[in-house]
Structure 1
Amino acid sequence: MSSKTLIIDLSHHNPEPDWPALRAGGILGVIMKASEGTTFVDATYQPRKQKALAAGLATASYHFFHGNSASEMAHYLSVANPALGERVVLDHEAEATLDQLVEAVKYLRESRPDLQVTIYSGHTIKDQLGSAKNDYLAQNTSLWIAHYTEEAKPSWPKETWPAWSLWQYTDHALVAGCSAPVDGNRWNGTEDNLLRWLGPMQPAPGPEPPAEPLTVFVTIQKPKGVDVKVMVEEPEE
């Protein structure tokens, strides 16, 4: 487990970061709020996503879930418009039941089987699962646990998730590039694996490849007694 804050999460409540400073300070990725419920859109999501990608940061999105499984997930996908293989997160801390959470994950898996799905939660998921195992969540999701503690590691529902992926350990992380404290998250693995876990990064456009030389064969029937001259002109660039 990395003891450093390698990834932060943001919503419209957070001031606009200095994106290059975030990357220069060691942050590798940002998970940003895209939507909530059936209608709310976080207006900062799309512009911030583009700025984060331009700064070389990996990105993912999250949806604050209220329990209206199908309608909320349809709304989330339309707002986030996740790329192939991108990670999507359900923020499960409101009034939604465990069954509603499972139905939401099923909707995502059936609608976009390419996506990686993570559950973000704290005491809510601990209370709902207890020591029981939910096979569907175990097979189809990873865990981002919220647990603010000074201890070396958090507590979490180990029967469903033998290991957590992300641990939100504070809401007062001081990070270069952010003018106010933000949620700090620790990653349970190597930095390379974190980038793979987050999903695809948009590559910076490279230079155009040089044009291949074009060879053209022309056949001309030369009449007897007539001189034929052929001129070739290259088009102006």
Structure 2
Amino acid sequence: MSDHPSCIDISHWQGFPDFHEVAVQGVVACIMKATEGTSYVDPNRAQNYINATEAGIACCTYHWIKPGNAAAQMRFWLGTIDPVQGERMCIDYEEDGCSLDDLHEAVQVLLDDPRDLQVTVYSGHLLKEQLGDSCDAFLRDNTDLWLAQYTSGTTSWPTGTYEYWTLWQYSESGEVEGISDTNVDLNRFDGTNDQLVRWISPEGRAPLPPPQPGEVVRVDITAPKSVSVNVTVNGGDVATRRRRPRRRLLIPHGPDVFR
């Protein structure tokens, strides 16, 4: 099993990673703890989310669900994150005492949200033991599985409900350059890295890779002839001029140039 995963998941225990260094290791996606219960907010998530996305790493968040009061917990996550249209959300379903009724209630709150959220269930032995070989049609039709199982051998999961796992957390003791903690969760995606980025991103809004130094960023602007166009790059004005039909701007990633 590779120790250089394409996806990691973190919480405040990993501090504030150097995400540019993390990205160099081949990590393209990161799932961050956002909330737990009805009152806990991970203090590092907001800044880490900004830093990771600036480094070109696609991100989403998870909520650690506790037994009971599942609807209130999901409303707490919604109020904390204020997700965008189509955002992916992961329910960390592993604490003893949680029931399938709790999980169903939590998923339903997310489905009822008008922003068409994508829902993933993270779990290992708890969900496996509760589902057994049965088919939970509600979970099958409305969620996918992020499996937690620390093995280098063959994985096992509740296949009666999930035909396959989407993401597999295969280690909780990984090491990734750029993260000082030696207990980083490592994950494998059932697909390519491009598919992973599309999966973890808000539906239909997979981020573009960050421009490389010297790369030309091409921007086409269409506007009525009577409208003046003011172009700003990295906080500085590049040009202001009267619109002409289909004027093309070639903006190198670096010094401000207008052609």
Look up the equivalent residue of 2:163 and give its one-letter code: P
Distance 1:25-1:100 versus aligned 2 partners, 3 A rule: same
Cα offset, 1:209, TM superposition: 4.5
After superposition, where does 1:126-205 map in structure 2 within 5 Å? 126-151=128-153, 153-181=154-182, 182-200=184-202, 201=206
Question: TM-score with structure 1 length normalisation?
Answer: 0.83
- Paired residues of 2:4 and 2:176 also in contact (CA < 8 A): no
Look up the equivalent residue of 1:33 and give its one-letter code: K
Please state whether the residue corresponding to 2:9 is helix, strand or coil: strand
Cα offset, 1:112, TM superposition: 3.9
> Gaps spanning 5+ residues in structure 2: where?
212-216, 228-240, 243-259
After superposition, where does 1:17-96 map in structure 2 within 5 Å? 17-66=17-66, 67-94=68-95, 95-96=97-98
Indicate the residue corresponding to 1:221 in structure 2: none
Look up the equivalent residue of 2:49 and give its one-letter code: K
Tell me, in whole angstroms, the C-alpha distance in 1 between the residues paired with 2:84 and 2:2.
27
Cα offset, 1:150, TM superposition: 2.1
Q: Deviations over 1:119-148 (max 9, x none)?
A: 001111011101111000000000001001
Give every structure 1 segment of 4 or more consecutive aligned residues whose post-TM-superposition deviation is greater than 4 Å.
1-4, 201-213
Please state whether the residue corresponding to 1:169 is helix, strand or coil: strand
Tell me, in whole angstroms, the C-alpha distance in 2 between the residues paired with 1:126 and 1:100.
15
- Paired residues of 1:120 and 1:145 also in contact (CA < 8 A): yes
> Gaps spanning 5+ residues in structure 1: where?
216-233
- Paired residues of 2:88 and 2:200 also in contact (CA < 8 A): yes
Distance 1:191-1:202 versus aligned 2 partners, 3 A rule: closer
Look up the equivalent residue of 1:185 and give its one-letter code: N
Deviates further, 22-31 or 192-201:
192-201
Please state whether the residue corresponding to 1:77 is helix, strand or coil: helix
- Paired residues of 1:11 and 1:32 also in contact (CA < 8 A): yes
Q: Do structure 1's residue 122 and structure 2's residue 134 form an aligned pair?
A: no
Tell me, in whole angstroms, the C-alpha distance in 1 between the residues paired with 2:155 and 2:20.
31
- Paired residues of 1:21 and 1:177 also in contact (CA < 8 A): yes
Please state whether the residue corresponding to 2:160 is helix, strand or coil: coil
Please state whether the residue corresponding to 1:13 is helix, strand or coil: helix
- Paired residues of 2:14 and 2:180 also in contact (CA < 8 A): no
Cα offset, 1:16, TM superposition: 1.5
Tell me, in whole angstroms, the C-alpha distance in 2 between the residues paired with 1:161 and 1:192.
23
Tell me, in whole angstroms, the C-alpha distance in 1 between the residues paired with 2:70 and 2:100.
11
- Paired residues of 1:6 and 1:186 also in contact (CA < 8 A): yes
Aligned-residue sequence identity (percent) comes to 41
Tell me, in whole angstroms, the C-alpha distance in 2 between the residues paired with 1:3 and 1:180.
15
Indicate the residue corresponding to 1:12 in structure 2: 12
Cα offset, 1:47, TM superposition: 1.2
Deviates further, 135-144 or 66-75:
66-75
Tell me, in whole angstroms, the C-alpha distance in 1 between the residues paired with 2:201 and 2:125.
27
Tell me, in whole angstroms, the C-alpha distance in 2 between the residues paired with 1:134 and 1:111.
22
Tell me, in whole angstroms, the C-alpha distance in 2 between the residues paired with 1:179 and 1:112.
39
Aligned length: 216
Q: Which has the larger radius of gyration?
A: 1
Tell me, in whole angstroms, the C-alpha distance in 2 between the residues paired with 1:99 and 1:50.
34
Question: TM-score with structure 2 length normalisation?
Answer: 0.77
Look up the equivalent residue of 2:200 and give its one-letter code: L
- Taking CA–CA contacts closer than 8 Å with sequence separation of 6 or more, which of the two structures ends up with the larger relative contact order? 1
- Paired residues of 2:6 and 2:29 also in contact (CA < 8 A): yes
Cα offset, 1:99, TM superposition: 1.1
